[in-house]
Structure 1
Amino acid sequence: MVEASEMETPSTKIFIPDQWSDAAETIVRSSVDCPIAFICGPKNSGKTIFARNLVNVFLTRHKKVAYLDTDVGQPEFNPPGLLSLTVIDKLNPDLSNPCLETPKRCLFFGDISSKRSPAIYWSFVASLWDDYKRELLRSCIPLVINTAGWVKGIGYELLVEMVNHISPTHVVKIQISAERKNLPFGAFWSNDSNADSIRIIEIDDAHRDHLNRSVLTKKDGRRIRDFRIMAYLRQCFPSDYDVPKFGELAFALSALPPYEISIASIKIRHLHCQIPPSERFYSLNGTIVGLAVRSSTRCELHDCVGLGIVRGVDASRGVIFVVTPVPSAMLEKVDQLLQGFLQMPPCLLQARGCTSPYMSMSVRAHYKPQKPQPPPSPPSPPRPPKKPVTFTLHGETWDDEYGWMSQLHDKVAMRHMDVYLEQEEKYAEAVMYDSERLLAKLQGEMSSRLAAQLSTPALRWGPWLYYRRVEEGKQYPVLCRRMASLHEELISNKSPSAGFDFISGKKIEQKLIDYNLEAERFGGYAYEALSEVSPDHRYIAYTMYDKDTNCYKLSVRDLNFGSLCERPQANRVSGVAWAKNGQALLYVVTDNKMRPYRIYLSTIGSNEEDVLLFEDPREDVHLKLRHTKDFQFLTVNAFSPESSKIFLINAADPLSGMKLVWEGEPNVHCIIEHHQGFLYLFTNASLRGQSLDHYYLLRSRTVPSCGERKWEIAFIPDQDLMMEDVDFCNTHMVLIVRSGRKYGLCSIDLPLKNQKVGCHLRELNPRNLPLPDHVSRIFPGPNYDFYSPTMRFTVSSPIMPDAVVDYDLVNGKWSIVQQQNLLYERTRILYGSSERHNPRLASKSFPQVDSRDDDDSEWYDLSEYYACEEYDVPSHDGVLIPLTVVYSRHKKIKDDGTPGLLRGHGAYGEVLDKRWQSELKSLLDRGWVIAYADVRGGGGGGKKWWDDGRREKKMNSVKDYISCAEFLIEKGVVNRDKLAAWGYSAGGLLAASAINVRPDLFRAAILKVPFLDPTHTLMQPILPVTFDDYEEFGYPDDIEDFRAIREFSPYDNVGKGGGSVYPSIMITSSFHTRFGVWEAAKWAARVRERSIYDDDRAVVLNLMIEPVEDNAYLQCREAAMETAFLIKTLGNVPFQIPGIK
């Protein structure tokens, strides 16, 4: 390296080597319509000089040139920490000259390197590239892309991602004399699909320009960044203001009167780190911040209009003092202060004769606080037009005044619908106008509780560990795997091979499916319905929702090569199962009404047409396909209103035909497993002509000895013990059981001993597996590895975050492999095989006897902070309804003014979700009570419990819910005027129906994508209605079902009791849900019309344009909106638990 003392006297000219000039001319004169030049190379190689020179050469042939600057350390036209897209239309000097151009779009990254948050950095780059494609590429404006000099490690991976994503026409690689610092020779991005379409130009560095750029040190880089920041801040003064030295400029800046920004009018975001709310102003003071405007279309990307220096914070007045060159007209639009890791130039901190960096009281005295704007007057809800549509059925005729909202093929109606929904959005914004600060606070609370590492625990199957993880800054997860026998540090590799990299000495992670890339295939959304890896681990079959065809499309990916197989490619696929050890795939196809009715066989790698194995043309028959856990057989369930049948297919020879192995009555659950020559049937069907209200297990030999199949009961459960589910491995059977409300988990050795017919469960010596208290649900894990004795289950509780637990059924060890600890806001995850042990995680051996009395303090439950109580509430007919109540231990449950939220579902025989949900913590910590009503129609009470709450008995569910609400009020658990209802999907129907019957019981309600108009939806379905929907709510053609539907339908019964005051209601709906947005719109309009209007009881339609299922940020935002609405309506109780932040 050349020492500073040896440097030559700088030249007044810029040296451009002939090789560089030739390279620039080659790019500019290329035959492509719109050249895109990607310039890369190590630090101090001259990328800046070449890029500037290339821009000037472009301008000799083009009127405009676009410049995408991805170097956050030393950007060309902006101060450090920014990424920008700039359009240049005049020649520029071939040296860095910040602030010369105003960018078309600028994003604040807040750091001088992408190392801290590479995923966020990449999302910024991709967004700017999308802007160029959308706005400039069609005008054939050439693009120059400047990159950072970090070409090793993550920096190298980012360059590879950029080239593969952008596919430029030219890649210019500048090499320096130190070869080890250069990029690899040739097409370093190694993507064969675009290697031929990209021209590579390799040139040497200029060695030395007039600033001796090739020998700049890190200290010089810091000085250049300081220079750029100071040059930017120089714009705070008129151009004729004479400040020749940095010190003078620093003094002038310190004396400059700052702008006052109201804290209430902005949102403060700390990038790349979490700052406790109590410390945010200390962290903000005396720092460089980005001034941004919130984007209405981009969730995390905010357009930056400039930088500012926070000169002081006056918390008592609620103002922040900012010095910035941003014009006041533009500053009025700023609603975001973004803080990163940009360092203040030392000269600003060393200025003498002024207070730095804090604001002195004498300066503050010159400014008067702005008067707060008065709140807007209460808005009037929108009133959609009435255009009655007449319906007639079973001799009854009625008009639906808002029926036009569902006429999707009527262009005029849809234009009116667009106008109406826009009015609803504005009305919702006006109603929530005074809750913006509360909403921001809640969203911050909820986002801070998200798992630190969004990943599923690795699941072992054979030699592989499979798991999903969400990369930082990405919306969708990535399905990955790696070899289970290796425990070294991971590196990510997109090539299909996976194993061990002997050169780097690190394990390689194989990305199987990147759902962010799948979203690009399917119109921006990545909804996976199912995925199945073949038993030989060679292929994966999965279905993705295609919004263009409104169905799920089947794809098969070769995991050895990472490519999609040509066959099969099918639409409307509802199920898949592998056969012939992964050489063949069976899949189920639905008709236009989403009824599964055909089964095809596809041979992987063959050019032959897929074979139709089975088809049932009857419109009331639905098929379901699965494989047994040992992959020996495939089972086909055929359900109809008349019967339930199960057929068996030999997986080794699927063309040998289907054999009927069991037939029973309709509306029963039945599933078959195979183990060492026996078939096991888990069902709740009638037994020997007697109807049962619980599940039991039958078994039969796979090949009957006498030709006629005989099913025998495997065992009889003990008294008061109900089987809920069963799972198998080669050595054990695991039962999920329940006695009353108490769940249990026990294992039984396989094969079963030759016990007498009808023996009791206790005679099989079951081993009880340890569980915590207050278990509300146990879910079996995927447990793909049939020959592994370790089985995984997820244990749920209202006062404990879900725990994913591995039980080794042979040696008695158990481990919690994933559970979020809300006390410390972290998630613990164990990666590795079942043999690997982490002493920091809960791990014990369980004996043959029940170990419930053991110390289970290893479970991360929250029982020290929250209490869970259970009640039996008598309903209208005397049936006892289970009610679970959760509240904070740090408040008295019968305090006056206690608000409460009553949740319910009661449909499809599904158990009510009572799992711990971190977003509810914001309500619990504010003194709320959360109650769960297990009404009839749901699960947990047997088949009769479901039957007593569906079809013509659906009103039982509604009356059960009302009885639970009355109980909470009468017992003083919740204040009479502070009870809110909550329901999701079919649970929304439950809550809305209860409000119709007893609007006086509820003060507020949250209805999430609710089913509100069953009459018209079931009569004339616009979106597909399934067999399960009709079985749950009834068939309108049946007169008894029709009358029941008209009785419980929320839309048909609004205001039936006369002029009533309805509670405040927020209805969350989306264009991406099963139930159309028109149902929510119709119900909201009718409630406003037929109830007594009250400004304090608004009915708000909260429209979610984007789907939230796979987006944690959007889920937090939606939950925060609903929680803010509840607190705004019912009032807030201060935090009761100082020990938990």
Structure 2
Amino acid sequence: MHKFLYGVVCMFFVTASPAWAQIQQQDLVKASAYPEAPDAMQKDSTLTIHGDSRTDPYFWMRLTDEQKMAEKPDAQTQKVLDYLNAENAYTKTVMKDTDSLQKNLYEEIVGRIKQTDESVPYFKNGYWYYTRYEEGKEYPVYARKMGTMEADEQILLNVNELAEGHAYFSVNGLEVSPDNKLLAFGTDTLSRRVYHIQFKNLETGEILPDKLDNSTGGGAWANDNKTFFYTTKNPVSLLPEKIYRHTLGQNAEQDKLVYEEKDPSFYIGVSKSKSDEYIIIWNGSTVSNDYYILDAENPMREFRQFASRERNHEYSIEHFKDKFYVVTNWNAKNFRLMETPENATSKENWKEVIPHREKVLLSGIEVFNDYLVVSERSDALTQLRIMNQDNEEEHYLEFDEPAYVAYTSVNPEFNTDKLRYVYSSLTTPMSTIEYDTESREKKVLKQQEVVGGHTPKEYTTERVFAEARDGSKIPLTLVYKKTTELGADTPTLLYAYGSYGSSIDPWFRSDRLSLLDRGFIFAIAHIRGGQEMGRQWYEDGKMFKKKNTFKDFIDAAEFLIENNYTSAEHMYAMGGSAGGLLMGAVVNMAPEKFNGVIASVPFVDVVSTMLDESIPLTTNEFDEWGNPKNKDSYEYMLSYSPYDNVTEQNYPHMLVTTGLFDSQVQYWEPAKWVAKLRDKKTDDNLLLLRTNMEAGHGGASGRFERFKEIALEYAFLLKLENMIQTESVSAGSN
């Protein structure tokens, strides 16, 4: 049929016959319906270790930072950029029929966000601090008022003004000096998480000439209001490795090195205690922590070590009056609470306050003059435990929903009986609540407003448990609209992470309503690798037990299918970063369980990345994944590495996203993975790669811009569900 006539016929039937439109839409979820996908050049590179050789035909895609940022690209750089741009063009072509839907989704999502908004103010050192947003603006305004919220506003930073002319802009590490006159802040314009620290005179508005480059962005003021401690990064690996002491007005080249971390498996940083009496250098690897402390009144003295560094000893510290509280896993897998005199901090002086419990993870504390607030996890739920420091009376905050998240908010003052905490669930918007520890009364200070309205009672949230193949019980949290009919035809998006002990809690997100209101179930699989079920849950999902993470996710999907929530034809999976590794492993192991998969900034080339110590994050994560320079680790990692296990088989529809300047998961991992999948897969399903050519690991900067990426993801799911034309017909009939 002539192309023009074909278009006219399609227009007629879209208007007159929704059923016909549905059939035509199904054709548009076949790769063969579109121009041929980009075919990446293959140039074999042989990688050999432990007597084993791997052939990587796409190793050539790797570029250095210098190549990416060069004004005139060299030949290799141009080939890589051409390939990425070709993939972007292909994705745009395939998703062309969703352009209107993406626009509608974006407007719908942004339309739920209160344009002019303000955070709950908190009081510190004589000022009320808050963050506000102005209508139509992408970035926050940081401000404060002296003494009372009725006072005149003083703007600390208007990030909208700073971001002008930048495609990407991020601010972090805002630190006000003890005398309230100076502000330190870090800026990143490349999305590499490398910040430049600057200083602002809050009395005159002047930006001081001092500039500290190649930093993590944050830092700590000494109590003399002129000395600032900050952390710098290794210029190649981007690992934080040195801490300097800067004196205002002094050239940064003269800054004094006060600490250098020699072990590349540790992250480091510097901060100030809540008491404002100590500058604290912290060090953390996957299995160990270490601290150095310094009296904030005497910044020119030497830091002293809090306790000897020990492998497999993780702990955190909090100063209070004349002692330190210590949350530690010393002889306590789920951690316990200790205390020690501030002048005698080595382990032999620690005294137990809260003992270890087999089924309760002690995840942190908040200290007040009269109370301790202990954050705990039990049965995949967060708990807040209030303990009186004088009489040892205690109680727990009560929460009504079957699945939720509650955690302490900003509480900078010791001398108060009021605790601020945040509460949310998959149906309840984020709420900042003030709790009176004496009267036990709760006061909602602010609940996230959903513009246009949101009625939590219109949605159902469930907590269910799937049985893993080894008998373990995997918690799942589900949410769906009450009018949604559950069954084999119900589209379901299953999300998980499962690494680093990071627990994926059931937060409310207003953008998710765009799926729920269209009949989707959204589900979180709290798989091993997180800490939802305690520390052992994490230990059983790392190193030589990493495959439990992937198996748990597959078993969770199978549970939803077997219990008639959905079917494989309508099951979708999503994960990002280490959760993208999960996606890559799952589609290799059980592609038949899913109709579509979204993998965001996926860590998929596990072995090659972990063999390259020049890449950020590599050395710090040997105790998470293993060190492939050891043969047993190499063989185990190779057995699940998504890129190395791509094979000739059918794969689900897939959308893969990345950022050219990603410092966490380099862009070439997903780019190589997609190229290899194209070469190997035997199906006619969609495979799309979308690279943000101006951003990194976190995607686009700005308050609203990132929702364009979410709109693309949702449109991809709706396209696979053949819902695009149906929406168009429905919209046209109103």
TM range (shorter): 0.7 to 0.9
Matched, 1:695 2:335: yes
| TM-superposed deviation, 1:414 | 2.0
Residue of 520, 525, 531 corresponding to 2:174: 531
Partner SS for 2:365: strand
Within 5 Å, give how 1:484-633 maps onto structure 2: 484-487=147-150, 507-520=151-164, 523-547=166-190, 551-567=194-210, 569-573=212-216, 575-580=218-223, 582-592=225-235, 593-604=237-248, 609-633=254-278
Identity %: 27
1:646 to partner: Cα distance: 2.3
Partner of 1:881: 474
1:183-206: per-residue Cα shift (whole Å, max 9, x none)?
Answer: xxxxxxxxxxxxxxxxxxxxxxxx
CA distance in 1, matches of 2:312, 2:89: 45
Aligned pairs for 1:4-19 within 5 A = none
Q: Which residue of 2 aligns with 1:711?
A: 350
- CA spacing shift, 1:582–1:1011, aligned 2, 3 Å: same
Alignment map for 1:964-1113 (pairs within 5 Å): 964-1020=556-612, 1023-1025=615-617, 1027-1055=619-647, 1059-1073=648-662, 1074-1094=664-684, 1097-1107=685-695, 1108-1113=699-704
Query: Closer, same or farther in 2 for the Cα pair 1:458/1:861, shift >3 Å?
Result: farther
CA–CA distance in structure 2, aligned partners of residues 724 and 1129 of structure 1? 40
For 2:397, which of 769, 778, 793 is the aligned residue?
769
Are residues 549 and 887 of structure 1, via their aligned partners in 2, closer, same or farther at CA, if it must alter by over 3 Å?
A: closer
- State the secondary structure of the residue aligned to 2:499: coil
Residue 1131 of structure 1: aligned partner = 722
Q: Kindly tell me: are residues 429 and 656 of structure 1, through their superposed partners in 2, closer, same or farther at Cα, counting changes over 3 Å?
A: closer
Preserved CA contact (<8 Å) 2:613 2:619 = no
Letter in 1 for 2:452: E
* 1:810 Cα offset (Å): 4.6
> What amino acid maps onto 2:197 in structure 1?
L
Change (3 A) 1:772 1:564: farther
> What's the secondary structure of 1:637's corresponding residue?
strand
Task: Tell me if the contact between 1:624 and 1:637 (Cα under 8 Å) persists in the aligned partners.
Answer: yes
2:300 is aligned, of 650, 655, 662, to 655
8 A Cα contact 1:477 1:514, kept in partner:
yes
> SS at 2:646's partner residue?
coil
Deviation, structure 1 residue 1106: 4.4
1:659-692 Cα offsets, whole Å, 9 max, x none, are 2232354355422111121210012x222xxxx3
Q: Give the match for residue 65 of structure 1.
A: none
Report SS of the residue matched to 2:300.
helix
Do 1:635 and 1:672's aligned partners in 2 also have CA atoms closer than 8 Å? Answer: no
Return the alpha-carbon distance in structure 1 between the equivalents of residues 190 and 394 of structure 2: 49
CA distance in 1, matches of 2:366, 2:566: 41
Taking a change above 3 Å as real, the CA distance of residues 945 and 721 of structure 1, as seen in their structure-2 partners, is closer
Aligned residue type for 2:465? D
- Specify whether residues 708 and 743 from structure 1 end up closer, same or farther in structure 2 by C-alpha distance, changes over 3 A only: closer
Q: 1:417 aligns with which of 59, 77, 80?
A: 80
State the alpha-carbon separation in 1 of the partners of residues 491 and 192 from structure 2. Answer: 46
Please tell me whether the aligned partners of residues 482 and 510 of structure 1 are also in contact (alpha carbons under 8 angstroms): yes
User: Residues 825, 819 of structure 1: CA spacing in aligned structure 2 closer, same or farther, 3 A cutoff?
Assistant: farther
Q: CA deviation at 1:795?
A: 1.5
The answer to whether structure 1 residue 903 and structure 2 residue 530 are counterparts is no
Aligned to 1:784: 412
Q: Deviations over 1:39-83 (max 9, x none)?
A: xxxxxxxxxxxxxxxxxxxxxxxxxxxxxxxxxxxxxxxxxxxxx
Q: Which amino acid aligns with 1:513?
A: L
> 1: distance between equivalents of 2:603 and 2:665?
6
What is the match of residue 56 of structure 2?
A: 400
Deviation, 1:994, is: 0.5
Hey, what's the Cα distance between the residues in 1 that align with 2:106 and 2:421? 31
Runs of 4+ in 1 over 6 A off after TM superposition: 315-318
Note the C-alpha offset of 1:631.
0.7
Q: Specify the alignment match of 1:746 in structure 2.
A: 385
What residue identity is the alignment partner of 1:512? L
Deviation at 1:1030, TM superposition (A): 3.1
Aligned amino acid, residue 715 of structure 2: A
Shift of 1:806: 2.3
How big is the shift at 1:976? 2.7
CA distance in 1, matches of 2:286, 2:193: 27
Is the radius of gyration larger for structure 1 or structure 2? 1
Offset of residue 881 of structure 1:
1.4
Residues matched between the structures, number: 693
Q: Is 1:796 the equivalent of 2:429?
A: no
Deviation of 1:1061 (Å):
1.4
Letter in 1 for 2:667: V
Which 5+ residue runs of structure 1 have no aligned equivalent?
1-261, 266-314, 319-373, 488-506, 754-763, 827-859, 1136-1140
Question: In the TM superposition, what is the alpha-carbon distance from 1:704 to its structure 2 partner?
Answer: 4.2
Please name the residue that 1:820 is paired with.
448
Contact 1:665 1:686 in 2 (8 A): no
| 2:99 alignment partner, SS class | helix
- Quote the offset at 1:959 in angstroms: 0.8
Q: Equivalent residues in 2 for 1:448-459 (5 A)?
A: 448-459=111-122
| Gapped regions of structure 2 (runs ≥ 5) | 1-6, 18-26, 68-72, 728-733
Task: Summarize the Cα distance change of 1:427–1:1129 in structure 2 as closer, same or farther, 3 Å threshold.
Answer: same
Q: Is the 8 A contact 2:403 2:506 kept in 1?
A: no
Letter in 2 for 1:712: K
Paired residues of 2:660 and 2:693 also in contact (CA < 8 A): yes
SS of residue in 1 equivalent to 2:102: helix
Cα gap change, 1:538/1:619 in structure 2, threshold over 3 Å: closer, same or farther? same
Deviations along 1:701-729, one digit per CA (max 9) or x if unpaired, are 22349x99510111237784432221123
CA 568–808 in structure 1, closer or farther in 2 if over 3 Å, else same: farther
In structure 2, relative to structure 1, the CA distance for the partners of 1:660 and 1:724 (3 Å cut) is same
Partner of 2:23 in structure 1?
none
- The offset of 1:401, in angstroms, is 0.7
Secondary structure class of the residue paired with 2:476: strand
Kindly indicate whether residue 71 of structure 2 is the aligned counterpart of residue 388 of structure 1.
no
Q: What secondary structure, in the 3-state scheme, does the structure 2 residue paired with 1:451 have?
A: coil
- Report the 3-state secondary structure (helix = DSSP H, G, I; strand = E; otherwise coil) of the residue aligned with 1:399: strand
Moved more, 591-600 or 1063-1072: 591-600
Contact 1:576 1:585 (8 Å CA) reproduced: yes
Shift in CA distance, 719/590, structure 1 to aligned 2, threshold 3 Å: closer
CA contact (8 A) 2:378 2:532 kept: no
Q: 1:1065-1087: CA deviations, max 9, x gaps?
A: 01111223232222222111111
Q: Please tell me whether the aligned partners of residues 1003 and 1064 of structure 1 are also in contact (alpha carbons under 8 angstroms).
A: yes
Residue number in structure 1 paired with 2:368: 729
Task: For residue 568 of structure 2, give the secondary structure of its aligned residue in structure 1.
Answer: coil
Q: Determine if contact 2:466/2:474 at 8 Å carries over to the other structure.
A: yes
Q: Which amino acid aligns with 1:983?
A: G
Structure 1 counterpart of 2:144, one-letter code: R
- 1:666 equivalent to 2:314? Answer no
Structure 2 vs 1, CA of residues 720 and 935 (structure 1 numbering), >3 Å: closer, same or farther? closer
Can you list the C-alpha shifts for 1:306-347, whole angstroms capped at 9, x where unaligned?
Answer: xxxxxxxxx9899xxxxxxxxxxxxxxxxxxxxxxxxxxxxx
1:942 deviates by 2.5
Amino acid at match of 2:350: W
Q: Taking structure 1 as the reference length, what is the TM-score of the superposition?
A: 0.57
Contact 1:598–1:612 (Cα < 8 Å) also in 2:
yes
**Contact 1:574–1:590 under 8 Å retained in 2:** no
Contact 1:775 1:796 in 2 (8 A): no
Q: Distance in 2 between matches of 1:606 and 1:436?
A: 53
Change (3 A) 1:466 1:792: same
